[in-house]
A = this chain, B = another copy of it.
Amino acid sequence: MLGYTRAPSKHSDRGAKDKVVVLGSGWAGYGFTRTLDPNKFERVMISPRSYFVFTPLLASTAVGTLEFRATLESVRRLGLDHFHQGWADDIDFNRKVIRVEANVSDDMRSRMNQMVAKHKSPELPIKQGPIFEVPYDKLVIACGSYSQTFGIEGVREHAYFLRDVGDARRIRLKVLQLFEKAALPTTFDEERKKLLHFAIVGGGPTGIEFAAELHDLIRDDLAKLYPTLQKFVAITVYDVAPKVLPMFDQTLANYAMNHFKREGIQVKTQHHMTRIRPDEETEGCMKLNIKEYGDEEVHAGIVVWSTGLMQNPLIEKLTSKALDCPPAVGNEELSNQQIRLQKNPKTGSILTDHYLRVNVVPKDAPPENGNTYPNPGAMSDVFAIGDCAAFTDQALPATAQVANQKAAYLAKGFNKGTVDETEFKFRNLGTMAYLGNWKAIHQSSADEMKGWTAWVLWRTAYLTKSMSVRNKIMVPIYWCITWLFGRHTSRF
């Protein structure tokens, strides 16, 4: 790692403030940095994108209810000491430096595909940005996760994800393009049926909300523009589990399913997708193989994929390698042997203690199932939060709420200088999902709600969290304008 350019430090007197480097600009990284006191710490962020995405509203932007930019917050508005647009490529915990590859490309998705492909076949060439090093005093790993495809053929190439704002834009263009294509006088009815079948894989809140928003778009706006095409439209949600929305209790999940049934959205549980490939006969259309259907293939114009998460290449790299010489750890026994980061062997996430410090175990500790190694140490200056981190003894969902709470807890601990005094406690504030047609469901430990009242809560709750004043003004304006004039349906 020698010989790389070193990023400049704003404070020439390095002793003045600790330099806290955060990897990632999602719910965890952005939330942490926003709360960290700039008077007490030098704040540095490394992320391939220069904005935070307000993910719960992505489905709304994908169908044109909201403008894309209303879900974005520029990291620049945090007034950071330094922001480096790039990927953390490796970390040297001994020298306390991060190796960063600058992101100067335009297309995030093609790059992610490259990285995933390279991880599987390391000999593949990859177009690299310039590499440089960033030193840290304290490090917060909050680089999130990738979409899980379970290695199913064709998913990475042909399915649409819904994790970043670029994904939302691609989905929106594709949906409008499918309608334009179906409307052509040269298109046969049989092809129209194929093109206008919208397949959503994954019955979690993201998949369900996207199905609901898509249904709203079609019913409220596209039905007026393409009245003759309505009879060809179908929306199907596929899930491998016996029920969708597993985080909601049976009453609410049933309410959601009945609502979907009335609206004509099909939900097919216990269906296993096994392949996606282009349909040679109808350009722009896909053929899906489903285990339960045998050789019979399902046609769809678009497949939106939302089945879960996998670790990104950095986390895999960090949790696989042995560290030559242990950095400061809280466990005396470990300081004289080679160590490695402790990971959950099932999900691959980094395990932390309840102060969110990264756990370490002896290099040759058996591949534990997460909580078997009796006495892990913890790095005093390296923390992990968000989707890439987990506890050994408590399974929390990979949600924005958990990431947000961990981020706030950690930043407050930094600010007060009490990082290892009180353990992190997750407070379940409840879960919400939009079901379309101005209805939603909400469930918390205290109560549950469904229908229009839950929808009002859904809309107002989204205005209170992590949003700038600008977007707090713009989002209701967009809602209002959409309600008055309909959604934008220009293919741009």
Chain A residues close to B by CB (< 8 Å): 5-8, 49-51, 67-69, 72, 74, 76, 84-85, 102, 104, 106, 130-132, 165-166, 173, 177, 180-181, 184-187, 225, 283-284, 468-470, 473-474, 477, 481, 484-485, 488-492
Contacts and interface: CB of A to CB of B under 8 A. Distances in A.
Contacts of A173: 106
A76 to B, nearest CB: 5
> Which 5 residue pairs of A and B lie closest in terms of their CB atoms, listed nearest first?
A51-B490, A130-B186, A7-B185, A470-B485, A5-B186
Contacts of A186: 5, 102, 130-132
Contact of A104 (B85, B180, B490): B180
Contacts of A5: 185-186
A50 B491 contact: yes
Given A50-B491, A490-B50, A490-B72, A185 B6 contact: yes
Nearest to A181: B104
A259 to B, nearest CB: 29
A489 B72 CA distance: 10
Contacts of A484: 470
A488 B74 contact: yes
Contacts of A468: 485
Given A104-B284, A284-B104, A180 B50 contact: yes
A418 to B, nearest CB: 33
Contact of A185 (B8, B49, B51, B104): B8
Contacts of A85: 180, 491
A177 B106 contact: yes
Given A130-B184, A185-B8, A474-B481, A49 B491 contact: yes
A187 to B, nearest CB: 8
A481 to B, nearest CB: 6
Contact of A473 (B469, B481, B488): B481
A168 B7 CA distance: 33
Nearest to A69: B488
Contacts of A490: 49-51, 69, 72, 74
A165 B8 CA distance: 38
B132 A185 contact: yes
A181 B69 CA distance: 22
A69 B67 contact: yes
A470 B474 contact: no
Contacts of A131: 186
Contacts of A106: 173, 177, 491
Contacts of A492: 49, 51, 68-69, 72, 165-166
Nearest to A482: B470
Contacts of A187: 130
Given A49-B491, A485-B469, A102 B69 contact: no
